[in-house]
Amino acid sequence: MIKIYHNPKCGTSRNTLAILQTSGAEIEVIEYLKTPPTRAELSAMISAAGETAHTALRAKQPEAKEHGLLADGVTEAQILDAMMQDPILINRPFVITPKGTALCRPSEKVFSIMENPPKSYTKEDGEVVTP
């Protein structure tokens, strides 16, 4: 079973989901803005992906500035707290497969954790990517 923490409004997330669908594997799509992970799930997912709360933060969101997360000295705990309050701050998409966990930015990063990656994939914008 593959899990994707997905935002259907995000092109990267849509491309990643489409790549996963080429594998034929069963996919659990979690729209994390509607059903956010628990703090423990989020922390574990970030760690398993080799990320930190800082690198998993969607810093472009206005909420990042509103929460004061762009200042020097902000702790991992403060970022996780803000992500729990405003899930839009969680960068996406996170994908969990039997081969591993990854923050799939860019979307082709998902190839590295797929058991059956496609030979190539054409993104929404027409760019062709390969594993």
Which residues does the annotation mark as catalytic?
Answer: 10
As a whole number of angstroms, the distance between CA 53 and CA 56 comes to 5
**Ramachandran area for residue 73 (φ above 0: left; ψ -120 to 50: alpha; else beta):** left
> By the 8 A CB rule, do 81 and 64 touch?
no
Beta bridge partners of 121: 129
